Copies of this chain bind each other. A is one copy, B any other.
Amino acid sequence: MKKTKSGIYGLNSLLDGGIIENTATVVIGAAGAGKTTFALQYIMRGMEVGDDGVFITLDENQEQIIKEAVDMGWVDILEYIKNGKLVFIDASAEQFSNFIRKELPSFVQQWGGTKSRIVIDPLTPVIWAQPDKYVQRELISFLFKELRHVGTVVCTLEEHGAGDLTGPETVIPMYMADCVVHLKYSTKGEGVERKLKVVKCRRSRHSERAHDYKILPGVGISIHHKKRESTGKTEVAEKVLAEFRERMKDLPKSTRIRLNKALTGLKDSDYETIDPNIFLSDIVEEYQG
């Protein structure tokens, strides 16, 4: 399971090293939260390491986005576009929906194995262009499934509705995606508050806390860690493991092997809210009860 550096300063450690390759990540935020900045940082980071880049924009504003990058100081973007490492695609949501349905599968087959970063900014109009929740789901599911073969996908999503991420525009891609990042941008007293949170990340440990972030000119989104999250003592975990080996001698062999392997991988932080004795008893109960 390979991980890709995200390009967003401080995010990789929240994702246990970075974004898993060939997955789909959704980045949700209100107007002004920094969604496009996130997408640009991600794509520019790929340029640095030689990945191919595809930037699909749905609101006919390719020009604006490039301006924004240049104003950020990322003038190299012009060269990447020129030499074809970075491709911009400007499509209406309907055109793109048709492309997904009719041409994406053969496109994916032809693309072959090149490692690439794919951005869709924003995904929202693609969802709106479908007639109902059922079709929205089917299309997004299919889109993610196909694109995962081609590269590592980041889609931005606008917050619509009551602000608790419950509108269908947000919730359907959240269920379909492998990884969900929320850029929460809200009023707090007379000022504002910016918090980044990893809502889910399939197949990975991930931070479960909300982290302050800023959008710094020239730098982009930077997450503010109060302190590094503990990267894993195993003192308690080893005691549990020893105890486990003692008590689980009678388990069927394959089960014992599997559990032994799982417990070997745990760290002290995993036991923070768990009483190891009851935990082991539950295992006993499961197999002998």
Give me the interface of A with B, judged by CB distance under 8 Å.
1, 5, 7, 9-10, 12-13, 17, 31-32, 45, 48, 59-61, 63-64, 67-68, 71-74, 76, 92-93, 122, 124-125, 128-129, 132-134, 137-138, 141-142, 145, 158, 160-164, 166, 168, 171, 174-178, 180, 187, 190-192, 195, 197, 199-203, 205, 208-210, 212, 214, 216-219, 222-228, 252, 254-255, 258-259, 261-263, 265-266, 270, 273-275, 278-279, 281-283, 285-287, 289
Contacts and interface: CB of A to CB of B under 8 A. Distances in A.
A212 B272 CA distance: 12
Nearest to A226: B275
B74 A258 contact: yes
Contacts of A226: 275
Given A60-B142, A210-B191, A32 B200 contact: yes
A279 B9 contact: yes
Contacts of A197: 187
A219 B280 CA distance: 12
B10 A64 contact: no
Contacts of A72: 203, 262
Contacts of A32: 180, 199-201
B258 A216 contact: no
A173 to B, nearest CB: 9
A160 B223 CA distance: 30
A74 B265 CA distance: 13
B60 A216 contact: no
Contact of A73 (B7, B176, B209, B265): B265
B145 A125 contact: no
B273 A212 contact: yes
Given A134-B125, A175-B158, A192 B208 contact: yes
A285 to B, nearest CB: 6
A210 B224 contact: no
A76 B31 contact: no
Contacts of A252: 48
Contacts of A203: 67-68, 71-72
Given A60-B145, A216-B262, 12 more contacts: A7-B286, A10-B282, A12-B286, A73-B258, A92-B138, A124-B175, A128-B134, A158-B175, A162-B164, A217-B265, A218-B262, A218-B265
B225 A210 contact: no
Contacts of A74: 258
A279 B226 CA distance: 10
7 contacts: A7-B286, A9-B283, A31-B177, A32-B199, A73-B261, A124-B175, A158-B175
Nearest to A194: B208
A191 B14 CA distance: 13
